[in-house]
Structure 1
Amino acid sequence: MSIDKRVGKNIKKYRLAYKMTLEELAKQIHKSKSTISKYEKGLISLDMATLEEISQVLKVAPSQLLAAEEDEFHAEELEGEFFDRQYMYSYDGRSKRILRSIIERYILSDSGQMRIQLFYDVKDVQNPGDCKALYAGMSRKYEFIENYTLQNQNNPTEQVLICCINSLSLTNRKLGMLTGLSYKTMLPVAIKVMIASSVLKEDNELIEGLKLTKEDIKISKKYNLFTIDQFME
């Protein structure tokens, strides 16, 4: 993929995540709708000043607009560079469906911290910008544990914490808990999640692994706290 198409794809991804129209973005950077459309299609190149201006409007670092997809990325891992993409799954008992989300991680330094973008509840993993909510924040990894601290970019009062632990039997998956305010009800919630390094098959087996188990509920009642006790085998 050429750099123009790559940048254009990233602009569209973040624009959609902010529920922003072509006209709205064009107005904010004093360009025409047609010009923004051409940027997103990779038909014309951006100068550095325009790239910086768009990154400020979309509240991302310029490096994130330049970021390559995972299968394109072969460069040395530099500060702020795209590192990898993870796939987060949860089960919504109200709508009886699996919620799929995408986590993009960007290297900051050798401190163990990463910059995070969470595209929550996407319709298609190939189009993460078409999501219900966009979160940004940081993650830190401690051996087999990783914590994510994130803030809703459209509603700063909504912040979430994801704590997860690597499965001992499934090395490409991490089971964890997302806690914070529901973007639907704005009430405190805790959600069981699974984070994988690749796209998972959305079948009954995955649904059962995402649902709260009888043991989860039993422990919650016994100790008056919500915790997750088992991995999906």
Structure 2
Amino acid sequence: MNTKDNFERDLNIFAGNKIKEFRKKKKLTQKQLGKLIDKSDNTISNYEKGLIALNQDVLFSLAEALDVKVDDFFPQKVSAGSLHQAVATTDENLTVGDMAFLKELMDYIKSLDETERRYLMSNIEMAVEIFKKNRN
């Protein structure tokens, strides 16, 4: 994948994460947001995952439905070489995709009851320990 493709993918993921953030702040489901902008909940899901690029019409519809500015879907400062910095993380080794996965994992963990959460966390800890042992 070339730099332009990486840039576009990262930008789609960033915008998708913002859509999801704004949708949740408005307490809307993907289906409800889809109805507001005449798109399926599947399409909204794909926007949020960064799998579908947002065209101008969709951006304006989303901004209106979520009561935000179009600019709010994008990082403040963007250039082909700086999108990863624009989506800033404390660990420069994480990609935007990594961050999206970790955020999705955290959201899932938060949705579990205490017993399920403890069980999942113990399994993750065990997987990390196995990974560390196999890595050495």
Q: TM-score, normalised by structure 1?
A: 0.30
Q: Deviations over 1:128-167 (max 9, x none)?
A: xx8xxxxxxxxxxxxxxxxxxxxxxxxxxxxxxxxxxxxx
Partners of 2:84 and 2:49 in 1: how far apart?
Answer: 20
Residue 73 of structure 1, CA deviation: 2.5
Deviation >4 Å, runs of 4+: 68-71
The answer to whether the Cα contact below 8 Å between 1:8 and 1:40 also exists between their aligned partners in 2 is: yes
- Alignment of 1:48 with 2:29, yes or no, is no
Q: How far did 1:28 drift?
A: 0.4
Post-superposition offset of 1:35: 0.5
* Residue 39, structure 1, aligned to residue 47, structure 2: yes
- Does residue 73 (structure 1) correspond to residue 86 (structure 2)? The answer is yes
The yes-or-no answer on 1:29 pairing with 2:37 is yes
User: Taking structure 1 as reference, are residues 6 and 68 closer, same or farther at Cα in structure 2, changes over 3 Å only?
Assistant: farther
Whole-Å Cα distance in 2 between the matches of residues 68 and 37 of structure 1?
A: 24
User: CA separation in 2, counterparts of 1:18 and 1:45?
Assistant: 22
Q: Hey, which of these two has a bigger chunk of helix by percent?
A: 2
Is the CA contact 1:4–1:42 (under 8 Å) kept in the aligned structure 2?
yes
Where do 5+ consecutive residues of structure 1 fail to align? 75-83, 85-125, 131-233
Q: Which residue of 2 aligns with 1:15?
A: 23
* 1:129-140 map, 5 Å: none
Match of 2:42, SS state, is helix
Deviation at 1:6, TM superposition (A): 0.6
Is the Cα–Cα contact under 8 Å of residues 5 and 43 in structure 1 kept in the other structure? yes
| Structure 1 residue 66: Cα displacement | 1.4
SS for the counterpart of 1:20 is coil
How far apart, CA to CA, are the structure 2 residues paired with 1:72 and 1:63? Answer: 18
Q: Aligned partner of 2:85: which letter?
A: E
Bigger relative contact order, structure 1 or 2 (CA pairs below 8 A, ≥6 apart):
2
Task: Give the aligned CA root-mean-square deviation in angstroms.
Answer: 2.8
Q: Within 2, Cα distance between the matches of 1:68 and 1:43?
A: 22
Identity within the alignment, %:
32
In the alignment, the residues of structure 1 paired with residue 20 and residue 28 of structure 2 have an alpha-carbon distance, to the nearest angstrom, of: 9
Equivalent pairs, count = 78
**Is 1:12–1:40's contact at 8 Å kept on the other side of the alignment?**
yes
Q: TM-score, normalised by structure 2?
A: 0.51
Whole-angstrom distance in 2 between the partners of 1:23 and 1:58: 14
8 Å contact from structure 1 (residues 6, 68) kept in 2? no
| Structure with the larger strand share | 1
Write the mapping of 1:141-156 to structure 2, written as runs, cut at 5 A. none
